[in-house]
């Protein structure tokens, strides 16, 4: 009896939720015996009719989206037949049906609110109308995770500290500043102002010294900027005139900067050791020679005996540490080759033709100065190639064809 009562109460609750009103058919008066046959016939007809209606209702529930409206139009008998049409049950069948119905009702009532919540949760989600959102009880799908991560990166990615003006060693080599972009602050950041101890001071560097601090000479960076720009003009003029520039850096950390600067100028470099006699005794080791035009294209002309034995030497030598390259400095002076060198407070500026007062012990400072000189040489080299290209266009000569002496 308790199970039957619970079933009746559950059905009444379901019907109440659906907007169905129960009408009690039970009376205390006895049913006349003359009407029993008519009542049985009537009940059998109702069962057949309810069975047909329940079959149609189940099919309609699968096709109709407005489930509540369809349920509210059913009578009590039709609703009970619909409930009883489920498979033969366990003991808690009514509880399961009631729970599912409540979930269906809650979802149906809150469907607009859920859509608004989903669309207003993020400005990015409204841009994807075809995205199917998952419920709160389920984990996010891959598409939702991707959209949320993108939204988080746009909103929160710029928060926090932003670090600027950070030293990146590769930029001094791959993207060095041009001569007109060099400033005192960049040289100070590289430590180019730090000289040697006052005990190692060379008196010839007096014009380059700004002052003294804790027993160390401080180099005047204004002088460094002016002398560096003058040396850049020299390198640019030599490469524009078709001369050869030789970069000399014998320290370990200077190899990449020297090679990159020589590549920009289409010149040469020495990184490991300067072999004595490279310039003064070059005839002992003859190398094959060929003639090229101003566009660096071989002319393929046969050289005579005098031209074959002619000494080929660089037109300019850039030294990052003249004190460590005294042999190269001596040979360059003997062959009357102009030199550019970084001069520290313990070095004599008269060793080189164009001194640049700076700290030659700082790899960062030497790489910066070498990169600036290489950038200046690249500008002159490109200007020369552009002039040759324009000259060939006037003469209607192809770019791949070399210029002859008659041209």
Q: CA 247: distance to chain centroid?
A: 34
- pLDDT for the residue numbered 27: 41
Residue 193's CATH number: 3.40.50.10490
**Final residue belonging to a domain, choices 155, 184, 206:** 155
210 and 100 in a single domain? The answer is no
**Final residue belonging to a domain, choices 91, 121, 155:** 155
136 and 186 in a single domain? The answer is no
- pLDDT for the residue numbered 82: 66
Q: Distance (Å, rounded) from C-alpha 339 to C-alpha 231?
A: 10
Among 238, 275, 235, which residue's Cα sits nearest to residue 370? 235
127 and 219 in a single domain? The answer is no
- pLDDT for the residue numbered 270: 92
Sequential DSSP letters for 315-373: SEEEES-GGGGHHHHHHHHHTT--EEEEE-TTS-GGGSSEEEES-TT-HHHHHHHHHHH
- pLDDT for the residue numbered 170: 84
132 and 177 in a single domain? The answer is no
106 and 243 in a single domain? The answer is no
Q: Distance (Å, rounded) from C-alpha 90 to C-alpha 327?
A: 104
143 and 178 in a single domain? The answer is no
239 and 287 in a single domain? The answer is yes
81 and 192 in a single domain? The answer is no
Residue 166 in domain:
no
Averaged over successive runs of 10 residues, the pLDDT of the chain (407 residues) comes to 42 44 41 52 60 54 56 69 60 71 68 54 61 78 84 79 79 89 92 92 92 92 95 94 92 91 92 88 70 83 80 90 92 93 93 94 93 94 91 84 71
- pLDDT for the residue numbered 84: 65
Residue 80 in domain:
yes
Residue 338 in domain:
yes
Among 178, 187, 314, which residue's Cα sits nearest to residue 236? 178
Residue 311 in domain:
yes
Q: Distance (Å, rounded) from C-alpha 79 to C-alpha 67?
A: 13
- pLDDT for the residue numbered 108: 64
Q: Looking at 20-92, list the stretches that DSSP marks H as alpha helix, in order from N- to C-terminal side.
A: 36-63, 67-72, 76-84
Contact 232/179 with Cβ under 8 angstroms? yes
- pLDDT for the residue numbered 126: 64
334 and 367 in a single domain? The answer is yes
Q: Distance (Å, rounded) from C-alpha 392 to C-alpha 395?
A: 5
Residue 33 in domain:
no
140 and 188 in a single domain? The answer is no
151 and 189 in a single domain? The answer is no
**Final residue belonging to a domain, choices 125, 155, 185:** 155
Give the domain range for residue 49: 2-21+40-155
Residue 234 in domain:
yes
pTM: 0.60
Report the number of distinct structural domains present in the chain: 2
């Amino acid at each position: 009896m308790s199970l039957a009562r619970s079933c009746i109460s559950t059905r009444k609750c379901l019907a109440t939720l659906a907007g169905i009103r129960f009408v009690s058919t039970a009376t205390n008066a006895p049913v006349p015996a003359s009407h029993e046959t008519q009542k049985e016939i009537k009940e059998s007809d109702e069962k057949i009719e309810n069975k047909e209606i329940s079959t149609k209702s189940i099919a309609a529930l699968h096709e109709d989206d407005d489930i509540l409206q369809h349920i509210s139009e059913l009578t009590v008998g039709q609703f009970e037949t619909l409930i009883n049409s489920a498979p033969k049950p366990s003991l808690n069948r009514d509880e399961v049906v009631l729970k599912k119905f409540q979930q269906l009702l809650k979802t149906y009532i809150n469907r607009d609110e859920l859509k608004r919540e989903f669309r207003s949760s993020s400005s990015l989600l409204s841009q994807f109308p075809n995205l199917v959102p998952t419920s709160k009880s389920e984990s996010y799908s891959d598409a939702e995770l991707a959209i949320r991560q993108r939204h988080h990166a746009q909103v929160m990615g710029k928060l926090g500290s932003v670090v600027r003006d950070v030293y990146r060693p590769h930029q001094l080599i791959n993207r060095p500043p041009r001569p007109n972009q060099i400033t005192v602050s960049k040289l100070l950041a590289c430590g180019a102002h730090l000289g040697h101890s006052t005990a190692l001071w060379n008196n010839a560097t007096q014009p380059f010294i700004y002052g003294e601090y804790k027993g160390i000479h401080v180099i005047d960076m204004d002088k460094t900027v002016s002398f560096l720009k003058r040396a850049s003009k020299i390198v640019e003029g030599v490469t524009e005139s078709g001369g050869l520039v030789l970069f000399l850096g014998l320290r370990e950390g200077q190899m990449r900067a020297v090679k990159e600067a020589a590549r920009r100028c289409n010149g040469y470099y020495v990184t490991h050791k300067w072999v004595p006699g490279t310039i003064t005794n070059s005839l002992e080791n003859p190398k094959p020679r060929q003639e090229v035009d101003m566009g660096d294209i071989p002319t393929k002309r046969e050289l005579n005996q005098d031209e074959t034995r002619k000494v080929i030497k660089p037109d300019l030598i850039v030294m990052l540490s003249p004190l460590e390259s005294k042999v190269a400095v001596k040979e360059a002076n003997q062959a009357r080759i102009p030199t550019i060198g970084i001069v520290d407070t313990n070095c004599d500026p008269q060793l080189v033709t164009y001194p640049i007062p700076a700290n030659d012990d700082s790899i960062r400072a030497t790489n910066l100065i070498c990169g600036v000189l290489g950038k200046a040489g690249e500008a002159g080299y490109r200007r020369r190639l552009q002039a040759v290209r324009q000259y060939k266009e006037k003469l209607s000569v192809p770019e791949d064809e070399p210029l002859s002496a008659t041209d």
